[in-house]
């Protein structure tokens, strides 16, 4: 869809995924805004023969975005090292802070921040340990494409939080490079590659903003929900290793499953939905990190419909009746929590 007067494009087609916003100009860098996710339901069902855990989860994207700026590397006419200059995959990470949304003029704002001395962030690796770089290299390996790319990654989604910022970034790379390099891959092919990178990556390539995911997360059932949901998220300064949390997880008796939560959300019955939230990883996370228990107690003292840790933590969220209630809850949380805690007001896409 062309944005009049801007010369930019915003793509929200099933091919792109309805939750990924893209802005581009001819012969200019491509901007992709890619979202965080919350787990409203996460049940561990058992351990698989491949070492992963069988799970059932309801994931939903929310309006907290990383931004990736893609600049294709082209051979320099006067360079004697065209192979090196044009075939590399390189990445720089910046802390972009949190503004609550991403805007159509995000490109100029991000470039201004970079020229004003935005600093690289050390919590997110720049090299092959970064899922975004792994995604680019995997795509090159699978397709035989030897073209290069430079990626500026502006981080707003906290790391080690259970919000899948790294997985979302990797999905954005697969989507963007398929477009930039004109590879012509289908969404099914991209999702197959995504499952090799990480369990959550495929979810971010699905056309709906919510999905039930099974297996180790790669079996995706897109889910259309009629109502917009509003959340407040708190992230303590400490994080958790996903592997550590899974290692300390002990299997519990099976719950009734995700179906009752989905039914409540489809009816718009938020009170019942708040009672159906579940995360099998929360108990081991509380054992490993006292900040999770502290956030749980704090949220319990506020007027949210329901509250839960997301993924393997340490981010914790509350479901609110509307945006005004979420903003009020965020203000109360900021007043009662440590100064180093991060608090976000978000919603799922309409």
The catalytic position among 66, 200, 291, 341 is 200
Residue owning tokens 């809850």: 329
CB distance 186 to 127 below 8 Å: no
Question: Is-catalytic flag, 49?
Answer: no
CB distance 151 to 189 below 8 Å: no
Question: Is-catalytic flag, 200?
Answer: yes
CB distance 132 to 173 below 8 Å: yes
DSSP strands (E only) in 181-256:
210-214, 219-223, 230-235
Token pair recorded at residue 91: 């990445």
- Residue 154: strand pairing partners: 67, 94
Alpha carbons 325 and 3: distance in angstroms, whole number: 32
Alpha carbons 147 and 145: distance in angstroms, whole number: 6
| DSSP conformation class of 202 | G
**Residues recorded for the chain:** 350
Alpha carbons 156 and 150: distance in angstroms, whole number: 19
DSSP strands (E only) in the chain:
2-3, 8-9, 21-23, 30-47, 53-73, 89-95, 148-155, 210-214, 219-223, 230-235, 278-279, 306-309, 316-320, 342-347
Rounded-to-5 percentages of helix, strand, coil across the chain:
30, 25, 40
For 268-271, the CB contacts below 8 A with 24+ separation are 268/226, 268/227, 270/229, 270/305, 270/319, 270/321, 271/305
**Torsion-angle region of residue 231: left (phi > 0), alpha (psi -120 to 50) or beta?**
beta
- Residue 73: strand pairing partners: 148
Instruction: Please identify every residue annotated as catalytic.
Output: 37, 200
């Amino acid at each position: 869809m062309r944005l009049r007067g801007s010369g930019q494009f915003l793509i929200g087609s099933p091919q792109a995924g309805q939750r990924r916003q893209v802005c581009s100009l001819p012969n200019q860098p491509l901007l992709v805004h890619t979202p965080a996710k919350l787990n409203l339901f996460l049940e561990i069902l058992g351990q698989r023969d491949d070492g992963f855990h069988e799970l059932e989860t309801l994931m939903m994207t929310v309006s907290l975005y990383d931004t990736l700026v893609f600049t294709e590397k082209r051979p320099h006419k006067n360079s004697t090292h065209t192979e090196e200059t044009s075939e590399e995959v390189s990445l720089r990470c910046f802390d972009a802070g949190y503004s609550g949304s991403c805007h159509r003029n995000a490109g100029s704002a991000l470039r201004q921040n970079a020229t004003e001395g935005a600093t690289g962030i050390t919590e997110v690796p720049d090299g092959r340990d970064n899922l975004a770089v792994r995604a680019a290299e995997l795509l090159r390996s699978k397709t035989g494409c030897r073209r290069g790319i430079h990626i500026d990654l502006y981080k707003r989604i906290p790391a080690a939080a259970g919000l899948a910022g790294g997985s979302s970034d990797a999905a954005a790379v697969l989507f963007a490079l398929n477009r930039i390099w004109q590879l012509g891959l289908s969404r099914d092919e991209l999702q197959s590659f995504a499952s090799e990178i990480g369990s959550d990556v495929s979810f971010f390539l699905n056309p709906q903003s919510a999905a039930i995911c099974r297996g180790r997360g790669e079996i995706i059932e897109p889910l259309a929900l009629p109502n917009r949901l509003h959340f407040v998220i708190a992230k303590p300064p400490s994080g958790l290793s996903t592997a550590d949390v899974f290692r300390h997880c002990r299997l519990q008796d099976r719950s009734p499953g995700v179906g009752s939560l989905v039914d409540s959300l489809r009816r718009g019955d938020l009170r019942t939905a708040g009672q159906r939230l579940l995360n099998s990883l929360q108990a081991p996370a509380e054992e490993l990190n006292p900040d999770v228990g502290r956030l749980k107690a704090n949220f319990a003292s506020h007027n949210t419909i329901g509250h839960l840790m997301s993924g393997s933590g340490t981010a914790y969220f509350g479901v609110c009746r509307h945006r005004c209630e979420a903003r009020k809850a965020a203000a109360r949380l900021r007043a009662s929590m440590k100064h180093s805690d991060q608090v976000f007001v978000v919603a799922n896409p309409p």
